Amino acid sequence: MSESDARERSETTTWDELLELARSDGAERLAQRLEELDESERVHALGRLDAEERSEVLGALPAEDAAELLGHLPDAHAAEAVEELEPSSAAEILDELESDERADLIGQLDRDSAEAILDEAAPETVESVRELLRHAEDSAGGLMITEFVAVPATWTASQLVDHLQEQIERYADYVIQYVYALGSRGELVGVLPLRDLVLARRDRRLESLMLDDPIAVPASAGLPELFELFDRFRFLGIPVVDDSGRMLGVLLREDVDEARVEQAQADELKSRGIVGGEELRTMPLFTRSGRRLSWLSINVVLNIVAASVIAASQETLSAAIALAVFLPIISDMSGCSGNQAVAVSLRELSLGLVRPAELIRVWWQEVSVGLVNGLVLGGLLGAVAWLWKGNVALGAVVAAALALNTLVAVSIGGVIPLALRRYGYDPALASGPILTTITDMCGFFLVLSLATAVLSRIAGA
């Protein structure tokens, strides 16, 4: 690259450069420029474009390159860009995606846009998408891929090798670690690792080579069951079957790992008060505002309830104004301890390590931590209060209040997610507000009630 080219490029933002190449019909140069960028740079550059501009970049690329690029974008950005494309162009890109990616993309679109694209797509693409969309997004059926090699169990190794060679173009992009042996009704009867096929005599029947009674997962299996299954077994893929044992697809380890990460990210957003899925700053203003307000408006009411405890003890606060300094500290420290317990419970629920019915066991384990941490934190804050005001009674009130409220916070933080899950509520969304309100109310109540009991000793502090 010449010095003048480098100078010119430095004066143009990457996203403007990509858009200019797309508009100048420089498909080859556009593809080359994208290839020069690493994944994070591509995501950042396309994220700075609006949906219509992003679709211009996608539309200027060959379908295969556009499909690869879509795989790097957040789901919301990918869906917005595809909706702006002509249905025929979008269908060409859809045909190049893997089956699970197709279903995810179509599931993000509004019904009219999705149907218009499917009307233009290849029949096998439409069949695959409709099959996957029949299943819940967070189930084995929703996560599986439908690209797999399945042959009759009665074949010989020679027939299978010949079949693979004849269909080499079809299978070129498949993720193939195993060949699946099927019965006459399409039911799964065995699994043959490719290594065993390579080492087998060509006249051997697959029935004598395959692994009998293979591990399979029902299409309806949810994420906790899938996480547990892949943690127990080191398979790269597990077949997915319907209620009659007919094979539907293959669940890849990498897709389950990705679902695990996405669930953790979604839970983190919900626990922070972002409701309704992922939020990106390129989304419409009122969409982003509404997702946040739906949680914040509830929190206003809950905080008013907590503040009423203070209002009921104004005389105690007036007599010992130093208490006002420690109220927010005790509330915040207890809330932090409770949030740690919430995070652990959410994590163990997502991994399937704990079940909603195990409330007592979880509570007891949190109580032990709460006792130790409460005594340590209470002692530290009580010593600060004593040294600041020289009043032993004030220090004792502050120490006892923080120790007790820490115990309450970790107890509630540990069991609330399990209780909410047991009764069908989303623990990631509701645990935070409930914990905050209870720890605030208990913290204020403990400080003010203990202070009232020894008011004569701390008056004037």
Decide if 401 contacts 450 (C-beta within 8 A).
Answer: yes
Task: Say whether both 63 and 193 belong to one domain.
Answer: no
C-alpha Rg value of the chain to the nearest Å: 30
Alpha-carbon gap, residue 424 to 413, rounded angstroms = 18
Does 345 fall in a domain? yes
Q: In 49-139, where does DSSP find H-type helix?
A: 51-60, 63-70, 75-84, 87-96, 99-108, 111-120, 123-133
Task: Say whether both 33 and 60 belong to one domain.
Answer: yes
CA dihedral 166, 172, 173, 175 (to 10 degrees): 80
- Whole-number pLDDT of residue 97: 87
Task: Say whether both 330 and 404 belong to one domain.
Answer: yes
Q: In 236-358, where does DSSP find H-type helix?
A: 253-271, 285-311, 314-319, 323-351
Decide if 356 contacts 419 (C-beta within 8 A).
Answer: yes
Domain boundary among 270, 295, 326: 270
- Whole-number pLDDT of residue 4: 45
Domain boundary among 104, 134, 164: 134
Task: Say whether both 56 and 168 belong to one domain.
Answer: no
For residue 33, which phi and psi values (nearest 5 degrees)? Answer: -65, -40
- Whole-number pLDDT of residue 110: 85
Does 37 fall in a domain? yes
Pair of tokens at residue 76: 């919301």
Does 203 fall in a domain? yes
Task: Say whether both 302 and 392 belong to one domain.
Answer: yes
Does 1 fall in a domain? no
Percentage of the chain modeled with pLDDT above 90: 16
Task: Say whether both 300 and 439 belong to one domain.
Answer: yes
Task: Say whether both 309 and 424 belong to one domain.
Answer: yes
Alpha-carbon gap, residue 431 to 440, rounded angstroms = 14
Pair of tokens at residue 454: 């020894």
pLDDT, mean over the chain: 83
Domain boundary among 134, 166, 198: 134
Q: What is the largest CA-CA distance in the chain?
A: 97
Q: Among 64, 54, 51, which Cα is nearest to 22's?
A: 54
Q: Amino acid identity of 53?
A: E
Query: Beta partners for 339?
Result: none
Task: Say whether both 242 and 300 belong to one domain.
Answer: no
Does 387 fall in a domain? yes
| pTM of the model as a whole | 0.58
Alpha-carbon gap, residue 235 to 233, rounded angstroms = 6
Alpha-carbon gap, residue 60 to 27, rounded angstroms = 6
For residue 240, which phi and psi values (nearest 5 degrees)? Answer: -110, 130
Does 364 fall in a domain? yes
CATH of the domain at 320: 1.10.357.20
- Whole-number pLDDT of residue 280: 61
Alpha-carbon gap, residue 352 to 45, rounded angstroms = 38
- Whole-number pLDDT of residue 219: 92
- Those residues of the chain that have pLDDT short of 70 are 1-12, 265-283, 288, 291-292, 294-296, 299, 317, 319, 351, 428-430, 460-461
Alpha-carbon gap, residue 396 to 317, rounded angstroms = 16
- Whole-number pLDDT of residue 367: 92
Alpha-carbon gap, residue 449 to 453, rounded angstroms = 6
Alpha-carbon gap, residue 227 to 206, rounded angstroms = 30
Does 278 fall in a domain? no
CATH of the domain at 84: 1.25.60.10
Range of the domain at 69: 13-134
CATH of the domain at 177: 3.10.580.10
Per-residue burial over 348-379, b = 16 or more CB atoms within 10 Å of its CB, e = otherwise? bbbebebebeebeebbebbeebbeebbeebbe
- Whole-number pLDDT of residue 291: 65
Task: Say whether both 380 and 428 belong to one domain.
Answer: yes
Pair of tokens at residue 128: 């695959």
Does 381 fall in a domain? yes
Decide if 451 contacts 458 (C-beta within 8 A).
Answer: yes
Task: Say whether both 377 and 301 belong to one domain.
Answer: yes
Task: Say whether both 375 and 244 belong to one domain.
Answer: no
Task: Say whether both 242 and 291 belong to one domain.
Answer: no
Total count of domains within the chain: 3
Handedness of CA 46, 50, 53, 58 (dihedral sign): positive
Q: Among 355, 354, 350, 358, which Cα is nearest to 267's?
A: 350
Q: DSSP code of 216? A: -
